[in-house]
Amino acid sequence: MNVLTMDKEKAQQRIAQLSKELEQHNYNYYVLSAPTISDYDFDMLLEELIKLEQQHPELLSQDSPSQRVGGKITKEFKTVKHKYVMLSLANSYSREEMTDFDERVRKGLELESNTLFGAEIEYVCELKFDGLSISLTYENGKLVQALTRGDGVQGDDVTTNVKTIRSIPIHLKGNYPSLFEIRGEIFLPRTVFDEINKEREDIGEAPLANPRNAASGTMKMQDSAVVAKRKLDCFLYYMMGDNLPFKTHYENLQEAKTWGFKISERVKVCRNLDEIFDYIDYWDKERFKLPFDIDGIVIKVNEYAKQEQLGMTAKSPRWAIAYKFKAEQVSTVLESISYQVGRTGAITPVANLKPVLLAGTTVKRASLHNADIIGKLDVRVGDYVFVEKGGEIIPKIIGVDLSRRAEGLVPVEYINRCPECDAELIRKEGEVAHYCPNENACPPQIKGKMEHFVARKAMNIDSLGGETIEQLFKTGLIKNIADIYDLKAEQLLPLERMAEKSVNNLLEGIELSKQVPFERVLFAIGIRHVGETTAKKIARKIKSIEVLSNSTVEELLQVDEVGEIIAKSIVEYFSNEENRNLIERLKNKGLQFTLSEEQLEGASEKLKGLSIVISGVFTKHSRDELKELIEKNGGKNSGSISGKTSYLLAGENMGPEKLKKASSLGVKIISEDEFINLLS
C-alpha cells in the first residue's frame, strides 16, 4: 500500500515492523559484522519509515531508527551525578608491577602466592580502547541516559548524540535486567579518521590530532546530525546493577552480546600471570593491525564477590589495573628535510630519516608539520632524533638527542621560495603554514586541483585517476581543469595504457560530469576553505556563479556557515582574472553553474528580508528542513536573537534563555504551523 494513503492503524503497524527490521539490520551490520541486506535495501526501508513518520507525526518515537541520523541541537550538556562513581584505573608499565598487583590481590583475598597452575583467581584480560569512556543506563530494555566520565563523580549527559551511534542499541532484546548500567568506550575507527582528515586537508584546514581527541570532540558537538556523520563506534566492557544474571564479569559480558551490545571478541579469561603476560605480549605486537587504537591491556578480577571483597581506593578499584604499552620509539639520524606542496599551496616539511624499524615497518620519513614545530624542536639536519609511532599511523619526531649532537650543526632555515615553481612563499596572519601563491602555474597545485576536481564527491569522473592526470599533464594535454573538457580521442589513443575502450570510458565520464549539480561543481573548482557542506550552503543561497563572483565579503557573511576567512577566500579567488577565465571556459563547456529548475522549484521571495531563529524540536519537519525552507523562500537563518531578528520559530523543549531574550526584545514568537502559513 502507498504510504501516502495508509490509514493511522496500518501506518502504526508498518512503523513497528520497519523499526524492528531496521534495528535488527543495524545489529547485524554494526555488531555482528554480518549484514543480511544491501546498503541500498536498508536505505529504502529507512526512507519508507521516514515518510510514514512524516505522514503521521504523532507516531514518531524519539527511539525510532529514523532518529539515528540525528538533527537535534544541544546547546548545553547537562551535568548529571553518576549512580556508581566512574573511577580511573591504576596504571602499570612492567611485568614487575603486574606481579605486584597480583600479590596485592592475593593478599586482599587472603590467598597464597601465585603458582604456575594456580586457579584460585580468574582474571579477565581486555584491550584498553583509546577513546572516550561512556556510561549507558537501560531501563526496561530502553536506553534512557548516556553520561561521559567527567570528573568521575558527575558527567555530561550526551544521550542525544549517543543515539546516533549505530552499534549502541536503543532497545534491547532477550532476557535483560529491568535496570542496569553498562560502560564502554566510544572511538573513531582509523579509516573514518583518515577520511575526515583527508577532507579537512582538501579544504586547507588543519588535520585532527588523533582518533581519541576526535571522538571526544565529536561527542560534545551541538548538532547530532554532524555527530551521526562521524560514524563513531563503541565497545561495551563492564556491567553494574543489582540483578545481573551471572556472578562473573566474563559471563555477563557474553550474555550482554545476546541483548544487542557490541562486545569485543578479544576478551580472554586468564588463570595465572603467565597467561596474562602471553596476552599482553601478543597484543603489544598485533595492536597495529587493529582497525582502531588501543593503548594497553585492562586486567580485572573476574568474580564480582572477589571484586567487592577487594573494594576501592579513593582513586581506583583494587581489583583491576591497566597495563600501558610504551609508545614505540627509536632513535635515528635526520638526513635531510624536503618540502611538499599540497593542492592548496600549503607547504609541508618532511624529515628524511636514516631507515629504521618501528612498530613492524621500516620508517624513512616523518612529518615536521610547519616552521613553528621545527623551531620548537630545534631539530637540525644531522641530529639523532627520537621517532615515535604509538597509536598514531604516521610516525612523528618527538625530540632531539642533544647528547649526540655533532659540533657545527646549524639551525634549519625554513625555505622562502616554492621548491616546485620558485615563487616567493607567503604566510598569512593567524595561520601556521607557509603557502605558495602561484596556484595556476605550480605543478603540484595544478595536479592536486585536478585530482580534487574529478573526485567522487566533486565531478565524479571515475576513469580519470591520479596516474592518468599525471600522464596527461606530462604530455601537455591538460594544464588546468578546463582542459579536461577539450580532450579528444585522437589525442588519447597514442598514449600508453590508452586502448579504445579506456578512452571511450574516459570521454563518456567527462561528458556525464556536465550534469553534476551546481553545489558539487562549486566544491570541485577548489576554492580554498570551501568544503562540500559550505559549497552546498552557498549554492542554495546565492544560486549562480555570476552572483557569487561579484559578491562582497559582507554579502557572503550572510550565508550560513560562511565566516570571514571563507568569505575573504571566495572574494580573493574571483579577483584573480585567471580564475574568472577558467570559470568562463567551464561554463562554455556546459557545466552547471546555476541551480537547476528542479532545485529552484518551490522557491520564492516570501521571506525576503526576514531573519529567523529556530529553537526547539519540531514534529512536521526536521530543523534542517525548516532551515532549507527559510533559505529557499529568501529568508535568512540566524543562530542568535538580536534586535534585527524577525521571528523566533519555536518548537518543543526550546531553551528558556532564547525565549526570555526574544520577549525582552519584542521578537515575535511563531509555531511550526504559523511558519508554514507564512509560506502558503
Give the rounded percent of residues in the chain with a pLDDT score beyond 90.
50
Sign of CA dihedral 352, 357, 361, 362: positive
Burial of 120 (0-12, 13-18, 19+ CB in 10 A): middle
Residue 84 lies in a domain: no
Which cell numbers hold the place of 222? 551541538
pLDDT, position 115: 44
Where among 515, 549, 571 does a domain terminate? 515
pLDDT, position 523: 94
Which helix H or strand E contains 554, and what residues bound it? helix 553-556
- Co-location of 183 and 296 in the same domain: yes
Residue 55 lies in a domain: yes
Domain that holds residue 57: 3-69
**What is the C-alpha separation between 678 and 680, in angstroms, rounded?**
6
Categorise residue 340: left if φ over 0, alpha if ψ from -120 to 50, beta otherwise: beta
pLDDT, position 224: 81
**What is the C-alpha separation between 196 and 209, in angstroms, rounded?**
11
pLDDT, position 151: 78
Q: How confident is the model at residue 236 (pLDDT cuts 50, 70, 90)?
A: very high
Dihedral Cα 581, 583, 589, 592, nearest 10 deg: -160
Q: How confident is the model at residue 528 (pLDDT cuts 50, 70, 90)?
A: confident
Give the model confidence (pLDDT) of 493-508 as tens digits.
Answer: 999 888 898 899 999 9
Q: What distances in angstroms separate CA 247 from CA 134, 251, 253, 266, 303, one per listed residue?
A: 23, 8, 11, 21, 6
> Taking residues 131-145, what's their average pLDDT?
95
Q: Within 13 Å, how many C-alpha atoms sit on residue 246's CB side?
A: 13
Q: Are 619 and 60 in contact (CB under 8 A)?
A: yes
- Co-location of 37 and 144 in the same domain: no
Long-range CB contacts for residues 361-370, cutoff 8 Å, separation at least 24: 363/330, 363/332, 363/387, 363/389, 363/395, 365/395, 366/394, 366/395, 366/396, 366/397, 367/394, 367/396, 368/337, 368/397, 369/432, 370/432, 370/433, 370/434
> Taking residues 9-16, what's their average pLDDT?
86
Q: How confident is the model at residue 70 (pLDDT cuts 50, 70, 90)?
A: low
- Co-location of 341 and 463 in the same domain: no
> Taking residues 632-637, what's their average pLDDT?
76
User: Pairing relation of β-strands 123-129 and 294-301?
Assistant: antiparallel
User: What CATH number corresponds to the domain at position 381?
Assistant: 2.40.50.140
pLDDT, position 393: 58
Place of cell 567527567: 150
User: What CATH number corresponds to the domain at position 554?
Assistant: 1.10.150.20
Q: Are 319 and 101 in contact (CB under 8 A)?
A: no
Q: Are 519 and 540 in contact (CB under 8 A)?
A: yes
Q: Are 308 and 109 in contact (CB under 8 A)?
A: no
Q: Are 636 and 629 in contact (CB under 8 A)?
A: no
pLDDT, position 204: 61
> Taking residues 549-563, what's their average pLDDT?
89
Q: Are 237 and 187 in contact (CB under 8 A)?
A: no
Where among 463, 484, 515 does a domain terminate? 515
User: Does the pLDDT of residue 202 top 70, yes or no?
Assistant: no
Dihedral Cα 25, 29, 34, 38, nearest 10 deg: 70
**What is the C-alpha separation between 71 and 269, in angstroms, rounded?**
42
User: What CATH number corresponds to the domain at position 7?
Assistant: 1.10.287.610
Going by C-alpha positions, the residue among 126, 132, 171 that lies closest to residue 149 is 132
Distance separating the N- and C-terminal Cα atoms of the chain: 30
Where among 600, 622, 657 does a domain terminate? 600
- Co-location of 663 and 558 in the same domain: no
Give the model confidence (pLDDT) of 395-427 as tens digits.
Answer: 888 899 999 999 999 999 999 999 999 999 999
Place of cell 543562530: 639
User: Does the pLDDT of residue 334 top 70, yes or no?
Assistant: yes
Give the model confidence (pLDDT) of 434-471 as tens digits.
Answer: 999 998 899 999 999 999 999 988 999 988 988 899 99
User: Does the pLDDT of residue 201 top 70, yes or no?
Assistant: no
Q: How confident is the model at residue 208 (pLDDT cuts 50, 70, 90)?
A: confident
Residue 535 lies in a domain: yes
Give the model confidence (pLDDT) of 591-629 as tens digits.
Answer: 999 987 666 666 677 887 788 999 888 888 888 788 878
> Taking residues 561-567, what's their average pLDDT?
88
**What is the C-alpha separation between 649 and 230, in angstroms, rounded?**
28
pLDDT, position 43: 72
- Co-location of 220 and 352 in the same domain: no
**What is the C-alpha separation between 30 and 46, in angstroms, rounded?**
16
> Taking residues 272-280, what's their average pLDDT?
95
- Co-location of 525 and 452 in the same domain: no
Residue 408 lies in a domain: yes
- Co-location of 573 and 621 in the same domain: no
**What is the C-alpha separation between 338 and 341, in angstroms, rounded?**
10
- Specify whether 128 is catalytic: yes
- Co-location of 526 and 510 in the same domain: no
> Taking residues 639-645, what's their average pLDDT?
79
pLDDT, position 256: 96
User: What CATH number corresponds to the domain at position 221?
Assistant: 3.30.470.30
Residue 85 lies in a domain: no
pLDDT, position 174: 92
- Co-location of 286 and 399 in the same domain: no
User: Does the pLDDT of residue 172 top 50, yes or no?
Assistant: yes
Least confident of 236-245, 403-412, 464-473, 628-637: 628-637
Does residue 297 sit in helix, strand or coil? strand
Taking each helix axis from N to C terminus, what angle separates 39-55 and 8-26, rounded to the nearest 10 degrees?
Answer: 150
Give the model confidence (pLDDT) of 78-104 as tens digits.
Answer: 889 999 988 888 888 889 999 999 999
pLDDT, position 442: 94
| Residue 468 phi, psi (nearest 5) | -65, -40
∠ at Cα 20 (19, 25), nearest 5°? 95
- Co-location of 237 and 287 in the same domain: yes
Q: How confident is the model at residue 5 (pLDDT cuts 50, 70, 90)?
A: low
**What is the C-alpha separation between 322 and 185, in angstroms, rounded?**
15
Taking each helix axis from N to C terminus, what angle separates 623-632 and 532-542, rounded to the nearest 10 degrees?
Answer: 40
> Taking residues 352-376, what's their average pLDDT?
86
Q: Within 13 Å, how many C-alpha atoms sit on residue 336's CB side?
A: 2
**What is the C-alpha separation between 582 and 279, in angstroms, rounded?**
60
- How many separate domains does the chain show? 6
Side-by-side strand order, sheet with 668-670: 636-638, 611-615, 647-650, 668-670
What mean pLDDT, rounded, does the chain reach?
Answer: 87
Q: How confident is the model at residue 390 (pLDDT cuts 50, 70, 90)?
A: low
pLDDT, position 554: 93
Q: Are 609 and 538 in contact (CB under 8 A)?
A: no
**What is the C-alpha separation between 489 and 504, in angstroms, rounded?**
8
Q: Are 637 and 612 in contact (CB under 8 A)?
A: yes
- Co-location of 319 and 425 in the same domain: no
Residue 78 lies in a domain: no
User: Does the pLDDT of residue 118 top 50, yes or no?
Assistant: no
User: Does the pLDDT of residue 116 top 50, yes or no?
Assistant: no
∠ at Cα 116 (111, 117), nearest 5°? 80
Q: Within 13 Å, how many C-alpha atoms sit on residue 259's CB side?
A: 27
Give the model confidence (pLDDT) of 299-333 as tens digits.
Answer: 999 999 999 999 988 778 999 999 988 777 789 99
- Co-location of 359 and 392 in the same domain: yes
Going by C-alpha positions, the residue among 180, 190, 197 that lies closest to residue 135 is 180
Residue 74 lies in a domain: no
Q: How confident is the model at residue 197 (pLDDT cuts 50, 70, 90)?
A: confident
Residue 17 lies in a domain: yes
Among candidate residues 10, 72, 83, 128, the one labeled active-site is 128
Place of cell 502507498: 2
> Taking residues 49-68, what's their average pLDDT?
80
pLDDT, position 214: 85
Q: What DSSP line would sit under 104-115, residue for residue?
A: HHHHHTT-PPP-
- Highest mean pLDDT of the ranges 64-73, 117-126, 422-431, 593-602: 422-431
